Amino acid sequence: MKLTTRRLFLAFAAGCGVFLGFAVYTFIYARGYSYLTDDPRACANCHVMNDQYAGWVKAPHRSVAVCNDCHTPKNLVGKYAVKAKNGFWHSYYFTTQSFHEPIAITDFDRGIALDNCRRCHAPIVDAIDGPHNNTKRLDCLRCHKNVGH
């Protein structure tokens, strides 16, 4: 049976509609909109992050920082680019159940967290880095890896 252009268009439109419907349903069901905010409870939407959230609630940084302050770049474009990238991969790994437990930060995201540690604690970090200017910068998270949560 030869399909006409109109039938092909309708089939394509129907396929796009089904895909869009599933995408919207998944976004609402997974509370994807909550990830557009700075509310730390969004990070605990997934059971994999419950330990990190519970740790943050008890940690000293709770009074001065939320998840995005440490885990996203400070500029608006960078912040939402990282949130989009991480959101996609978190969704993928959670949907396919192919994530490692306990969850571990990637090297890329660890670099963002380290940059934010160094930015917030600049006077202390500058004083510590001072004698080490000619070497690789010190890694604060080597000793303080659990300080935020």
Share of the chain above pLDDT 90, in %: 36
Instruction: List, in sequence order, the alpha helices (H) in the chain.
Output: 5-29, 50-58, 67-71, 76-96, 107-120, 122-129, 140-143
In a domain, 35, yes or no: no
16 and 80 part of one domain: no
* Claim: this prediction has a pTM higher than 0.85: no
10 and 47 part of one domain: no
98 and 121 part of one domain: yes
63 and 108 part of one domain: yes
63 and 23 part of one domain: no
In a domain, 148, yes or no: no
Whether the predicted pLDDT of 70 surpasses 80: yes
Sequence-ordered list of residues with C-beta below 8 angstroms from that of 38, at least 6 positions apart, any chain: 66, 67, 68
pLDDT value of position 44? 81
Query: In this structure, what is the dihedral angle of CA atoms 142, 144, 147, 149, given to the nearest 10 degrees?
Result: 20
Rounded CA-CA distance 82/70 in Å is 12
2 and 70 part of one domain: no
- Structure token digits, residue 110: 């660890």
In a domain, 37, yes or no: no
Sequence-ordered list of residues with C-beta below 8 angstroms from that of 116, at least 6 positions apart, any chain: 69, 70, 71, 74
Better-scored residue on pLDDT, 4 or 130: 4
pLDDT for 86-105, tens place per residue? 888 888 888 888 888 888 88
Q: If pLDDT is split at 50, 70 and 90, which confidence band does 17 have? A: very high
59 and 102 part of one domain: yes
Nearest to 114 by CA among 90, 143, 87, 86: 143
Better-scored residue on pLDDT, 139 or 20: 20
3 and 58 part of one domain: no
In a domain, 36, yes or no: no
Domain boundaries, position 1: 1-30
Whether the predicted pLDDT of 13 surpasses 90: yes
What's the structural domain count of the chain?
2
